[in-house]
A and B are shown apart, each in its own frame.
Chain A
Amino acid sequence: MTPSFADLGTAALRAALPLAIWGIGAAAYAAAKRDGRALASARWAALITFLLVASAALAMVGALVTHDFSVAYVAKNNALETPPFFTVISLWAALEGSILLWTAILAGATAYVAWRGTPALPRLGTTALAVLFTMVTFFLLLVTTPAADPFVRSEIVPLNGNGPNPLLQNHPLMGLHPPLLYLGYVLFSVPFAYAIASLILGEGGDRWLVATRRFALVSWALLGVGIVAGAWWSYAVLGWGGYWAWDPVENAAIMPWLVATAYLHSVMVEEKRRLLRSWNLSLVIATFALTILGTFLTRSGVVNSVHAFTQSAIGPLLLGYLVAIVVLSVGLLLWRMPTLRDAGAVGAPLSREAIFLFQNVVFVAATLTVLLGTLYPLIAEALSGAQLSIGRPYFDRVEVPLALALLFLMGIGPQLPWHGASRATLERQFTAPIVASAGGALLAVATGLGGAFAVLTYALAAFVAATVVQEFARGIRARRTLHGESAGTAFANLLRRSGRRYGGYVVHLGIVLVAVAVATSQSKTVEIERTVRAGDRFDVAGYTVSFNGLRDVKEPQRDLLVGDLAITGNGADERLRPALVFYPHATQAVGSPGISAGLRDDLYTILIAYDTSAQTWATIRVLVIPLVSWLWLGGAVVGLGAVIAALPQPKRREALRPLAEAPATVGD
């Protein structure tokens, strides 16, 4: 009897588990005794573990593609009529598959550290490898026990499965958002592992931080882009016209990202000034703990949300893992605190390091606010039995001022030198940006942007943009003076040779785009709802919407009721098809919006209700959402900036003055 995909997957996972356990021992022994053979065996264990888990993931894809309904996961998340693309991405459609994906990525990161990280920093890297092996072991325990075993067999093999959740097969973005998010989450295990290793070894220095700088940047970027992809999915699929609702699971993703952003900046302070050592360790621990907390909130069933996976035994296990991590990390940190001395102090309040410190405080305050808001209903109910909701009005009201403060700090921080600046320097540098800021504020008022916060956003966005342009101009001027390059070449070389700095500026520009997009779309969206018959038309914000009737569309895995709309005016000529989608096993239809994206306005249409007996009328909601496309654009720019910052610098050093060789880093 040939083994099925499920058999292969199960076998692979069960073989990987003892290997991972062996890896912990081998790596720990290799680090303690500096034993080369133990290290070699740990390396091979890491590689083979990764290959096994990856094979298990591929086996699950195989089981999905061959519609093997003897596997419970396939029966619940796949059907014969599910299109191939959505069949494949069902790997991460539900709990067990997504844990398997997580484990595979983690095993991959472990193998990478085993082969690239340990040669560069033998003792630190090997200890970090041992830490990573313990994490892999935990997740392998999850997938080889009933808690999250993806290959558990169905009790009765159905003739046809349920198919994926309707919301998860409505849009190809499902192929992008979860993998990006998981990569971002999981890759943060590496800086965390190095931080823990550094604490275990009592190093007290900065090597762990320098070694994992690029890893942290990459995982931050992936998590950030994954969050933007999630917002885009919410916008394009959930059909309510918005992109962020402060849903508990959205919050679960943004909390580690906020802390990771603070970390990326304070890393620079530690590198340049050898300060904030214990703070940086705390940030890394907090970021990693928040990724686990996020996973816990998403999967344990304790909060109700769009992503709510059903309650399973995995909840208490993840909570236990979280507790263990937090207790051990904090314990280690407090134990080693005496060895973590700062090499000096933050000098002047108007210096780059001071601004970074303030920025860190704001980020942490923002994260704590999101955490408290998300957990508050749980706390209140546990303590007093009262049932509360904390939603958009609370989060928006509290987070917007903090975000504006961050925009402000983002503008002045890069402009200030390390160690402090004089009054004259400040005046010279900030005149143009402040004037630009006034221009932004006046533009906001002129375009009818309502609300003080929106006007402030425009003002600060202009401020930051002006400072970035100024910085690029200075850099280009400096290169032209020193190397005689043309402006274009200078610009390119700034990005190539000083990628960290100028890539960072590109990221800031991306954030500016996002801020402007959010302020404009929140403040100037026009919404109208009409009940119409075929042939009716109505106007909204300068556009004319004509309704041309309803029609039925049959697809293999679903039925659609589509409303045909034509939108003209303001230079637009679009056909939009908002629909209600009926899946065989769902009780209610899923709305699918008809969207026309534009650089200036998005036209967003929803089919709200219809005449169920004769389909003679329909209720249509039309939103004209300005500048929301700049959100996705901004996200892409942030990703681009991160790539520029993460790229290794050209090896050929420029003849300016002798430099010390930079040591090999993980990720070079």
Chain B
Amino acid sequence: MTRERALILIALLAILGAVAWSARPHDPTPAERVDRITSELRCVTCQGLSVKDSPAASARQMRDLVVQRIAEGRTDDEIRDEFRASYGDWVLLSPPASSWSGLIWLVPLVALVAGLAVAIGRVRPATSSAAAPSARDLAALRERVAREEALDLPRTEGAE
């Protein structure tokens, strides 16, 4: 294995390790649960801010209610349902994945995959028909490529 490949491999492992470490599952603390729930609840007197972000009085009262419910041992869903009973689905800033409004989570994925499929379909490797260049031609070509890439001069007319 060349030195470069070894370095690349080690680096990729390090990145993987770092990501895995930061993504390790852990039980959320009550404070983290409050943050998570309040970030998904809509402040009812604001223009679309979450309860977590909003400094409005009603948002702070909602937050206090969430804190109390967590202390009482309610689950996240129960707390969210309490607000949904009063305000409807409107009060959730993120549509639940279960209902048909959860379709919205699929659409970006589908769009991305479909787009990539179309794009990859357009990438057609060209068959090499010319004879391989001689060593001297190769050296001259390399030098020219290096010069052009460094200076990015337009190769075709009409381009700026």
Contact = CB atoms under 8 A, between A and B. Distances in A.
- Are chains A and B touching in the complex at the 8 Å CB cutoff? yes
B91 A389 contact: yes
A147 B115 CA distance: 40
A621 B55 contact: yes
Contacts of A376: 101, 104
B30 interface: no
A445 B17 CA distance: 10
B131 interface: no
A272 B155 CA distance: 8
Contacts of A430: 8
Given A247-B47, A345-B122, A449-B22, A459 B15 contact: yes
A347 B19 contact: no
The 9 closest A-B pairs by CB, nearest first: A478-B150, A391-B93, A393-B94, A361-B115, A441-B18, A452-B23, A438-B11, A438-B14, A369-B108
Given A373-B104, A501-B152, A348 B160 contact: no
A198 B60 CA distance: 57
B158 A455 contact: no
A206 interface: yes
A166 to B, nearest CB: 14
Contacts of B116: 358, 361
Interface in B6-44: 7-8, 10-12, 14-15, 18-23, 39-40, 42
A475 B150 contact: yes
Interface in A440-499: 441-442, 444-445, 449-452, 454-456, 459, 474-475, 477-479, 482, 497-498
Interface residues of B, number: 68
Among A389, A394, A431, A477, chain B packs the most CB atoms within 10 A around the CB of A389
B119 to A, nearest CB: 5
A354 B18 contact: no
Interface stretch (A13-21, A283-291, A660-668): A660-668
SS class of chain B's interface: helix, strand, loop or mixed? helix
Interface stretch (A99-107, A176-184, A207-215): A207-215
A156 interface: no
Interface stretch (B68-76, B132-140, B141-149): B141-149
Contacts of B120: 349
Contacts of B157: 660, 662-663
A346 interface: yes
A121 to B, nearest CB: 11
Contact of B126 (A347, A434, A656): A347
B111 interface: yes
Given A271-B160, A357-B122, A398-B105, 9 more contacts: A241-B53, A271-B158, A304-B48, A358-B119, A393-B50, A438-B15, A455-B19, A606-B55, A665-B160
Nearest to A381: B90
A477 B147 CA distance: 10
A373 B104 CA distance: 8
Interface of A: 206-207, 210, 213-214, 239-242, 245-248, 271-272, 304-306, 308, 345-349, 354, 357-358, 360-362, 364-365, 368-369, 372-373, 376, 380, 386-394, 397-398, 402, 417, 427-428, 430-431, 434-435, 437-438, 441-442, 444-445, 449-452, 454-456, 459, 474-475, 477-479, 482, 497-498, 500-501, 529, 591, 606, 608-609, 621, 656, 659-660, 662-663, 665
Contacts of A392: 39, 50, 53, 93
Contacts, number: 229
B90 A388 contact: yes
B156 interface: yes
B66 interface: no
Interface string B85-114: 000111111110000010011011001100
A387 B88 contact: yes
Nearest to B12: A434
Contact of A431 (B7, B54, B126): B7
Contacts of B10: 438
Nearest to A207: B158
A390 B23 CA distance: 26
B148 to A, nearest CB: 9
B46 to A, nearest CB: 9
A214 B54 contact: no
B142 to A, nearest CB: 11
Contacts of A242: 53
Contacts of A345: 122-124, 126
Given A357-B122, A391-B42, A455-B18, A365 B112 contact: yes
A213 B122 contact: no
Contacts of B22: 444-445, 449-452, 454-455
Contacts of A608: 55, 60
